[in-house]
Structure 1
Amino acid sequence: MTLRMDEVLQQARPVLPVLVIEDVSLALDVARALHAGGVSVLEVTLRTPRALDAVAAIRKELPEVLVGAGTLIHTEQFLEAREAGAQFAVSPGCTERLAAAAEDSGLPYLPGVMTPSEVLLALEYGYRSLKLFPANGNASVKMLKSFKGPFTGIRFCPTGGVTPDNLLSFLRLPNVACVGGTWVAPANLIRARAWDQITQLAAEACELASSLEHHA
């Protein structure tokens, strides 16, 4: 069964960890630490030479976690990601060629947008789940509020500027499906093998969000 991107984001709520993995031997430990904290969807960015190996390792050993490939900026990366076992793809922007490559790969795709014109472009390609990047704190919260009127039925995953301090401001918005962020598993904690801290950060984000759901 092929997942749709809206289902991926729904499962990711509240947070989609964005991982930069330099040492593939640590990939499984990071994924396990996040899963222990309540995270079941994660994104491995293709910013490091071993990123696809990390995707493959997590898929093989931890089937209960959904793994996506992020920072796809070249068309050939979509097939490479799929072959590594990625279950969805994420880009910082959206172009005609990337949209076509995503379609060819068959992967659920989360393209990045920043302006109303970019949202319209993504809509023309049939995308209704979008990554807002970069998400600049309160300015982006206000922008997403203003997007709600003209762009009905569009769900966003703000990324790049989301922190524990503004997490709830984003998640309160009806057009925000989940948020993306590196703060849940930052590179320094991965390097330090601080798995308990990563589990705690994930659990804290999930607890914050569940307090919001209870008040809804």
Structure 2
Amino acid sequence: MAAPFYFPVFAVDDPLELDAMLAAVGLGTLITNGPGGLTVTHIPFVFDPAARLLRGHVSFRNPHSQTGEGDALVLFSGPDAYVSPAFYPSKAVHGRVAPTWNYEFLHVHGPVRWINDPLWLRQNLEDLTNRHEHNRAEPWRVADAPPDFTEKLLLRIVGVEVGVERIEGRRKFSQNESDGNRMGVIAGLAASAGLPEQRVAAAMMAQEAVCGAGGSDAS
């Protein structure tokens, strides 16, 4: 379930939308707190909606897998970009504008478990590979590698599962601004040379197309 947020207009609280966002994730930041303090590792995950699990793996040399089990937090960052006050048409009217940042993110809370089962690890390799290769004209498969190479690889990784017990989703795409200012932000970001700015513009346009008026109730 989604957690409450101090600014509801930015919250993503529809369970189906949160699951769709999780299904699209790639690299996540796994954070656990053990006897030695906080431990952080960046891991590509794949989401299993039926089992409510995030699954990935790390190198066997990564000390994170030795920290034991317990509560974990996984962070996923979506598109983000700086928003200039110059993008707002209202700047020319009253000048009461300030810079901000538009972004999207997910925080997933749940228990972590470390896994050394070769069958589990091979399935995770296949799931991750298939997820990211499926759009290629000639997708690479785990089975394409020599079997002895794959077997050695499986001995050098440790699996990780994080139960998806609570999700915090945020999408700050200028929903708190007027229609004119919001469209000004889209135009300004779309005209920027940077890919991050263009990604946010595209995401904002997609939200406009689906929801209109920023897609949220500001009350």
TM-score, structure 1 as length reference: 0.24
- The structure carrying a bigger helix percent of its residues is 1
- Greater RCO, 1 or 2 (C-alpha within 8 Å, sep 6+): 2
- The structure carrying a bigger strand percent of its residues is 2
The structure that has the greater radius of gyration is: 2
